[in-house]
Structure 1
Amino acid sequence: MLAEIRNIFSKGRVKYVNDAIVVLDEDFRSNTLWKITASNIDVVNSMMHYRVPIKNISKYALYSYYVDYYLAQASNGGFSQFVYNTRWNLNIVNCVRLGLTEMQASANLDVFERGAALFEKMDYRDVDRFFYGKYYDEDNVVREILDSINDGFYNLKNSESLLEINAHWLRNHKNLRVLNSEDIKTYIYLALNDGVNKK
């Protein structure tokens, strides 16, 4: 695949900018709200697949990526599912925190921080049992404690929709770059090589 990316390298048309949020032109033009968010996710997933150094992926793209991940996890299985599946990875947690802050989703940030406070005060032995035990055990006390904030999260679905906020934030971001599919491949190749065209 990298050979294909090299072959389509455009003659100076695409330049690598470290903090650019890159989305597909078709998705940007779409009237479907979530398309732009999904496009950012696709680009970030491709960059991760090709092992682009994390420093070469826009922090803003990662904020949107992980806010959407948090939304999907919490909507599907509550706050406990997000904690369980991320193992409370601090890089992910910080991206969610910073993303919610950047998006000015203050009510959602408050709910997230309440959940974080519950988790962070837990005994490490309880945390280990939670991470290495069976998530759906009936006596999973940690899961029940973490999910005590779920109503606060679900109640914001209409008043502070993260689906809408994330999409609008991306669309209006000063670092947004709208590219066609070939130029996105070129951009990923440049990001992989620190912005240098290594023909």
Structure 2
Amino acid sequence: MSLSPESIVVSHQSLSEGDAALVASLLTTVNTLMQAGRTPGDIPGDALHGYYVDYYRAEMVSAGSIEFLHRAGRHPAVAEVVQNGLVAMSADSHAELCARIVTRWNELPLKAQRAVLRQPVFGANPARNEFRAFDEEFVALSAELDLIEANARWLRSHPFLVPLKAAELAEYLRG
């Protein structure tokens, strides 16, 4: 099977199953490729945009900006990929928030970052209060523009989206 190097591959079935199914199909494809040994450089950049925007969304929803920063901090390019993906999806307010979160984190001395990470995630925690305000802003922005919907809308309109039937998808993932 010959696809363009820019192809964003998803299951054909996911197109008719709603926004969450389409994004989940992209995540499954990218996860399977990574588990098979592909590096981010081997995966189309826009597929990574969709993938990491959902990663950001999931971290912000489940544990907030500190958890996103902690996990993404292991791979500093992730925040940039997220911001670029948000811009590509016309989620500019989300991109601006993400940029402010990352900028504020990077302004903290390493010792202060460690102190914030050592604090409990929930309950009284003065070191995390500034970042909780970012989390609250994320919730408000998400009420206006849901990132699953934005991601799916962007994917559906993407010129390199390639929906494959189950057998073709399995063949593609086997590489």
Identify whether the pair has TM-score above 0.5, normalized to the shorter chain: yes
Instruction: Kindly state the Cα deviation for residue 44 of structure 1 after the two structures are TM-superposed.
Output: 0.3
Normalised by the length of structure 1, the TM-score is: 0.80
Instruction: Kindly state the Cα deviation for residue 63 of structure 1 after the two structures are TM-superposed.
Output: 0.5
Structure 1 portions without partners, runs of 5+: 1-13, 191-199
Instruction: Kindly state the Cα deviation for residue 113 of structure 1 after the two structures are TM-superposed.
Output: 1.5
The 1:137–1:154 alpha-carbon spacing in structure 2 relative to 1, beyond 3 Å, is: closer
Distance 2:72 2:102 in 1: 13
Structure 2 portions without partners, runs of 5+: none
Which residue pairs with 1:112 in the alignment? 98
Residue 23 of structure 1, aligned match among 10, 31, 44: 10
SS in 1 for 2:19: coil
Q: Which has the higher helix share?
A: 2
Distance 1:189 1:16 in 2: 14
Residue 187, structure 1, aligned to residue 172, structure 2 = yes
SS in 1 for 2:134: helix
Q: Tell which structure's C-alpha radius of gyration is larger.
A: 1
Residue 172, structure 1, aligned to residue 157, structure 2 = yes
Distance 2:113 2:104 in 1: 11
SS in 2 for 1:177: strand
Which residue pairs with 2:145 in the alignment? 160
Conserved? CA contact 1:84–1:130, under 8 Å: no
Conserved? CA contact 2:40–2:48, under 8 Å: no
Which residue pairs with 1:57 in the alignment? 43
* Aligned-partner residue type, residue 68 of structure 1: D
Normalised by the length of structure 2, the TM-score is: 0.90
Deviates more, 1:75-84 or 1:98-107: 75-84
Distance 1:129 1:168 in 2: 39
Alpha-carbon RMSD: 1.9
The 1:34–1:53 alpha-carbon spacing in structure 2 relative to 1, beyond 3 Å, is: same
